[in-house]
Amino acid sequence: MTSTQPRIQRKRAAHAPLHVKRILTSSHLAEEVHAKAKGRLPRALPVRKGDTVRVMRGGFRGREGKVVSVDRVHGTVVVEGITIEKVDEKKVPRPLHASNLLIIRMDDTDAWRRRKFEERAE
């Protein structure tokens, strides 16, 4: 970002186009995943549905699960098994910010992503 003012940074992030918000929903890669690619992958990648992540911050710290959905507009990720209980005792999924997650296993069903990972690993 070009501004040093936090309010301007928040404004630009909130009003960014979706192709930029995709990058903002990135999470760090685990050491094992990064080492498997021989360090050629970037430190952080956009989270995708099907990735397995570990929660690193907040009340759910240490829990792992598969990504069920990614909301790029709000920058949140819904992880399988992480729910909160509402006042009427309904259990609803708790959206987590992508920056509080660590990707421990990438989804390899997408041929394009798998090819990129293997190209970088060679």
Q: Where are the domains of the chain?
A: 6-121
pLDDT digits (tens, 9 = 90+) for 46-103: 999 999 999 999 999 999 999 999 999 999 999 999 999 999 999 999 999 999 999 9
41 pLDDT tier (thresholds 50, 70, 90) = confident
pLDDT band at 39 (very low <50, low <70, confident <90, very high): low
pTM value?
Answer: 0.85
Q: Which residue has the tokens 């509402």?
A: 86
Q: Are 25 and 46 in contact (CB under 8 A)?
A: yes
Report helix, strand or coil for 68: strand
Q: Of 70, 80, 82, nearest to 27 (Cα)? A: 70
Report yes or no: 60 and 77 within 8 Å, Cβ to Cβ. Answer: no
**Of 2.60.40.10, 3.40.50.300, 2.30.30.30, 3.40.50.880, which CATH number belongs to 6-121?**
2.30.30.30
121 — pLDDT class (breaks 50, 70, 90): low
Write the pLDDT tens digit of every residue in 82-98. Answer: 999 999 999 999 999 99
